[in-house]
């Protein structure tokens, strides 16, 4: 059965589903749907117009967390990414939600959006908002995640889960926006992120993303020149 994922690679939520699919060894095709201006047919899949969405046979779903949980349940013979116990599943879902709802507004919708996306449409970067995110708003979240990780290699059960993937996806977008974790201030989290980037699923995907990001930077320079 062919799985079709709709969205664009630089979306952290699309990336999250792609990494889930790859870690599970599931074949899929990525069909480009741009955020903000989706085609009319896409609104039948997701009336909110947001990405990603997934088509799995006759089943269509939207929202990255819903999609990943569907893949976990629909393909039980693949690698489990939501833990084996109720406690682990709860913690994984909590940290996934934390990444999507607490990190994303800052890493993606402030740093990445201002530094990369806004200039491509001729709008100036709001660097004041970027610096507020980096200096004031993100550090408490990084402190919390550093504490949650402790001495483990991964966040829950010391094995790869959707918690790790969701957090890494947001930090990747921050990096696309030109910012890296301070490894001296958050050594555990920085080490975790390095391990995530070294996963074959991530390392095989990132070069294409980096090329796309570089093209967007050039477009932004031309649009604001």
Quick: pLDDT tens for 153-204. 999 999 999 999 999 999 999 999 999 999 999 999 999 999 999 999 999 9
Could you tell me the domains of the chain? 3-74 (3.40.30.10), 86-224 (1.20.1050.10)
Neighbours of 182 (CB within 10 A): 13
When the pLDDT of each residue in the chain is averaged and rounded to a whole number, the result is 96
Which residues does residue 179 pair with via DSSP β-bridges, in sequence order?
Answer: none
Question: Can you read off the two tokens belonging to residue 105?
Answer: 């507004």
Neighbours of 102 (CB within 10 A): 17
Q: Which of 158, 169, 176, 51 is nearest to 100 (CA)?
A: 169
Question: Can you read off the two tokens belonging to residue 94?
Answer: 């909590």
Band of pLDDT at residue 36, cut at 50, 70 and 90: confident
Band of pLDDT at residue 1, cut at 50, 70 and 90: low
Strand order of the β-sheet with 53-56 is 28-32, 3-7, 53-56, 59-62
């Amino acid at each position: 059965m062919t799985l079709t994922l709709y969205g664009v690679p630089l979306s952290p939520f699309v990336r999250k589903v792609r990494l889930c699919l790859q870690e599970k060894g599931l074949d899929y095709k990525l069909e480009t749907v741009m955020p903000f201006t989706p085609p009319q047919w896409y609104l039948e899949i997701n009336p909110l117009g947001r990405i990603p969405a997934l088509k799995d046979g006759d089943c269509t779903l939207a929202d990255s967390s819903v999609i990943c949980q569907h893949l976990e349940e629909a393909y039980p013979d693949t690698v489990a990414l939501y833990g084996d116990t109720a406690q682990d599943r709860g913690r994984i879902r909590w940290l996934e939600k934390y990444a999507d709802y607490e990190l994303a507004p800052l890493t993606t919708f402030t740093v990445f959006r201002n530094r990369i996306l806004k200039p491509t449409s001729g709008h100036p970067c709001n660097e004041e908002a970027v610096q507020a995110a980096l200096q004031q708003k993100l550090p408490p979240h990084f402190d919390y995640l550093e504490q949650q990780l402790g001495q483990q290699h991964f966040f829950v059960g010391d094995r790869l889960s959707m918690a790790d993937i969701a957090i890494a996806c947001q930090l990747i977008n921050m990096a696309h926006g030109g910012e890296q974790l301070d490894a001296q201030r958050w050594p555990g989290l920085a080490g975790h992120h390095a391990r995530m980037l070294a996963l074959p699923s991530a390392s095989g995907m990132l070069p294409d993303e980096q090329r796309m990001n570089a093209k967007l930077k050039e477009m932004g320079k031309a649009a604001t020149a």
